[in-house]
Amino acid sequence: MILPTLGPERRATYSPFLPIHPKTGVVMQVPMEEVRPAEDLLVWVDPETGERHGTRITGGHCKAQWKADWALRWFALGVDYEMSGKDLIDSVKLSGAICKVLGGQPPIGFTYELFLDEDGGKISKSKGNGLTIDEWLTYASPESLALYMFQSPRSAKKLHFDVIPKAVDEYFSFLARYPTQDWKNRLGNPVWHIHAGNPPAIDMPVSFTMLLNLASASNTEDADVLWGFLNRHVPGVSAETHPQLAQMVGYAVKYFNAFVKPSKVFRAPDDAERGALEALDSALAALPDAATADDIQNALYDVARPIPRYQDFKAKGATAERPGVSVEWFNTLYQVLLGLPRGPRFGSFVTIYGVNETRALIARALAGELTAA
């Protein structure tokens, strides 16, 4: 059954079992001189010494090769369910056939898609282009990893460090929705499965992405600095009252220093952008002390609407007199003020980071001080 899947050269010396060297204990991946099933014997030659050996197939003297090993495990252990990647579809079929020949029943299978690197290539241990479980758990919680694994198993998914913040925020988003859902939707909510039907009640006042952007704006490696911003937005919040938030702050500092800080690239504003930033500074200065995130967001829109490059007439509700605001305006803010290609809802960011602190960022950008940061 296996021989037809091999090339002519390997087929001539193939055995489904590999002998274990009687002196060194090494599994010998060598051609078989002879295969004598009736005598329970493999005959092979040590390539280093030229010594000819006869090794019993049974009794722990051999190791099964891959194509046979999977089927033998299924048969010996009574495996009834097996998950595998789509690159092993042919191996699943072959192992199932071998299992049946042995008198067993192949397990029910589930084929999942492959994990890809950031460029869309297949993850490979030899290339080292993957992301290990330990690496993920250095920068985010086990629950975020569980959510990433749970979602869309039949779709190819990119697995690299950039996907971590999204997975973290999606986990808390699903968790926040759970208490308000009916039972049908609860059963479809990933957190029901992640927590075996008993998701915890966690108050997460800010997103992981927001924490990363606060760290980026302040360029800090100190968790206490982030807590200062958080206490302004949510008075009374502390590591003691919100232990999960404290955990998130710790993860955010690690992630920022490992991945965000080294990749920050500030862009100097052009003349049109300088004018827009000056107008934004004036709009922020005119806001009342009690301005909300929505007030700040509306001020951002009002600054951008008169500027042709930021107008979006295709946006929902846009008119000739009141155009929408294109994403280019917010990309300008992220790139010029934060040194990042993308960022949070800017009104919410300013609320937590501070109006005066944001105006100071604008002043530094206009003075050319951020481009060298």
154 confidence band (pLDDT: 50, 70, 90): confident
371 confidence band (pLDDT: 50, 70, 90): low
**pTM listed for this prediction:** 0.73
The pLDDT of residue 373: 46
How far is residue 264's CA from residue 82's CA, in Å, rounded to a whole number? 43
- Tally DSSP H helices, then E strands, for the chain: 16, 11
For residues 142-147, give the mean pLDDT: 96
Domain boundaries, the chain: 3-64, 71-112, 133-194, 208-255, 271-366
The pLDDT of residue 27: 95
Q: How far apart, in Å, do the first and last CA atoms of the chain sit?
A: 64
Q: What is the CATH number of domain 271-366?
A: 1.10.10
How far is residue 180's CA from residue 186's CA, in Å, rounded to a whole number? 9
**Read out DSSP for 275-293?**
HHHHHHHHHHHTS-TT--H
Give the three-state DSSP class for 201: coil
Q: pLDDT (tens digit, 9 = 90+) per residue, 67-114?
A: 899 999 999 999 999 999 888 999 999 999 999 999 999 999 999 888
Separation in Å, CA 313 to CA 165, 303, 324, 332: 32, 16, 6, 19
Distance from the Cα of residue 46 to its chain's centroid:
46
